[in-house]
Every structure is written in C-alpha cells, then in structure tokens.
Amino acid sequence: MSGRLLRLVCTAAVAVGTALAPLPAAAVPAPEPRERSVADLVTDLQRLYREAEEATETYNATEEKLKEKRAEVTRLDTQLSKARLSLHDSRGAAGRLARQQYQNTTNFSPYVRLLLARDPQHALDQGHVIGQLARERAVTVGRLTGTEHRAGELARRARSALDDQLTLAARQKRARDDVQAKLADVEALLASLTAEQLTRLAEFEEKGVEKAQEELTTSGALGEEDRKPTRRGETALRYARRQLGKPYEWGAEGPRTYDCSGLTSEAWAHAGTPIPRTSQEQWARLPRIPLKSLRPGDLVIYFPKATHVAMYMGRGKVIEAPRTGERIKVSPIAAHPLLGAVRPDRRDRPQTARTRKGDDQPPATEAR
C-alpha cells in the first residue's frame, strides 16, 4: 500500500471512530423527570401517616407510664415523710429510756435488792415495775429498729422511682421528637404536590376505601346488622358522637381535640368503664371478638401493629379521629386495613327497646 493510500485509510478510520465514540456526559441530554403516579403518592402518604401514628402511640404509652411513675413517686414521698416522723418519735422515746436507765443505774442487781429489802412485797412490786420497763424498752428499741429499716427501704424505693421517672421523661421527649419528625415528612410531601395532584390523590384514596368497603360488606364478614348496644356502649357511643367535627391532635385526650385512642378511651371512661389509653393496649388487654359479632360501642382496631382504633356505630360505619389535619368523623369500617375488634363491656347484655328508652346515665358499677 502506498504512503498516500495508507494516510487516507488512517484518516477514515479516525473519522469513523470519532463518529461512533459515546458523547461526553455533559452532552447526553438528561431524561425528563417522570411524574409520580397517584398510586405511588397514596402509598407514600399512607406510610408516612402510619409511621406518625405509630410514633404517637409510642408517645401515648410512655406518657401513661410517666403518669403512673409520677403517682408512685408522690405516694412514696408521702410514706417516707410519715416514716421519718415516726422515726423521730421512736428516737425520742429511745432517748428518754436511755436517760431513765442512766439515772436509775445501781451496782446492785434486782435480786440483791430483793434480798436486802425490809418489805419483800414492796420489792416484788418494784421488780414487776422494773420488768415492765424492760419490756417497754425492748418494744421501743424494736420499733426504732423497724422504723429505721422501713425509712431506709422507702428512701431507696423513692430514689429508684425518681430515676425511673427521669428516664421516662427523657424517653417521652424522644418519642415526641419522633412524632414531630414524622409529621414534618407528611407536611413536606403534601407541600410538594400541586392542587391537581392533591385532588387526584384524594379521589384515588376514596375509591380504594369504597372498594374495600364493598368487598367487606358483601362478604358477610360483618354478619347481621340489627344488634343493639349495651347501656354502657350506647353511653360511650353518644359521647363519641358529640365529638364529631373536633380536630385531630396527636397525644390529645379532649375535650377540644383528640387522637384516635384518646377519643375511644375517653368515651368509655365517660360510660363508667375505664380502658387502656393506647390502641395497642386496647387490642392487647380487652376481650377480642369476631367482626360478625360487632355491636355499637365496640372498638375496631387497624393495621398490623394495632396503631389505629375507631368506635363501631353500626351499619358498617365507625366514628374515628383519623389523622393530623382532619376532624373526628363517621367513616366506613374498611377505611383502613382491619386487624380485629375488641369489646370493653363483654359481660354486659345488649339493651332491648324498653331498657334503652330514657337511659342516659351509665350504671354505678361495672359488671364483672
């Protein structure tokens, strides 16, 4: 091959290679950002709300433990104050006995004094008195020792309870910060959406609830719908109805705002049946019932971790404090993924039409 031809081939090869070489990164046009689907947005939003509610229930549980610990610290402090006053009195009595013993000290034993006495009967009476004093001294010393031991034990328990209180207070602060962080995530997501996206998101979520509700009701899982509440159940339900329209607020127990378990626990407390404060404890400690046995006043628990609760009102509806930014409202029972149901008044019998008429007050004592 001639030198001229060789140069032409090399030039062509270089040109082809340059044409086929990838463009620099800066020259590659960036793909247009894909708009997130409504389904993705709903999934993310529901996850954030669920995480916020889980954090809220953790906060509520810690708050309840902190209340109990504060009450324990107060009780122990009161007992310790009484024990210290008793200890002061016991020490005073012991001091008086010690002075009496010192003032009555003699080198003669009671037996020698008895032998030397001119009046043996008087000596015997004196010996009886001495014995009585000795017994009183033993009782006083024993009381002093016991009071010292009790005061020391109470002081130890009071210090331990105070340490627990401080630990719970720190845990409560962390739980509060966690709730606020989760809610900030929700707000950030909502703030990033356009008005059109928010509308589509609400419609998509509503259609999902309608579908879930239809599937639940047509499946027969709720059974018959003519069951009557108990007297207590009706009182609790009446209380919940009066709260309709009030704002949701995490950690709140009324009377102006509520979270989900704050509403249900206050309603049943008003009916004379105190129940646990949190939805998780309500699920764990109250008697569980099948959905087909639901009657008005029962509690419906949602999500795998039992982090949401509502009160059943009949006909497939519940009253709930839904989530931040919303108000207490009537919702379909399938508004959230169902976990199960519990009954605070399991031993009470449902009312008949006659017993329900005019019954506005809860009974004085709870059925056992």
**Phi, psi (rounded to 5 degrees) for 221:** -65, -25
CA end-to-end distance (rounded Å), the chain: 110
Arithmetic mean of pLDDT over the chain: 75
| Residue 294 vs residue 351, higher pLDDT | 294
Q: Coil, strand or helix: which one is 95?
A: helix
Angle at 148 between CA 147 and CA 150, to 5 degrees: 60
What pLDDT, on the 0 to 100 scale, is given for residue 99?
Answer: 60
Among 226, 244, 219, smallest CA distance to 310 is for 244
Q: Name the DSSP class of 181.
A: H
**Mean pLDDT lowest for which of 107-121, 240-254, 303-317?**
107-121
Burial group, residue 234, by CB count within 10 angstroms (0-12, 13-18, 19+)? buried
Burial group, residue 64, by CB count within 10 angstroms (0-12, 13-18, 19+)? middle
**Mean pLDDT lowest for which of 69-73, 151-155, 214-218, 281-285?**
151-155
**What is the C-alpha to C-alpha distance for residues 187 and 45, in angstroms, rounded to an integer?**
10
| Structure token pair of residue 163 | 């340490």
pTM (2 decimals)?
A: 0.63
| Residue 229 vs residue 13, higher pLDDT | 229
* Per-residue pLDDT reduced to its tens digit, 272-311: 999 999 999 999 999 999 999 999 999 999 999 899 999 9
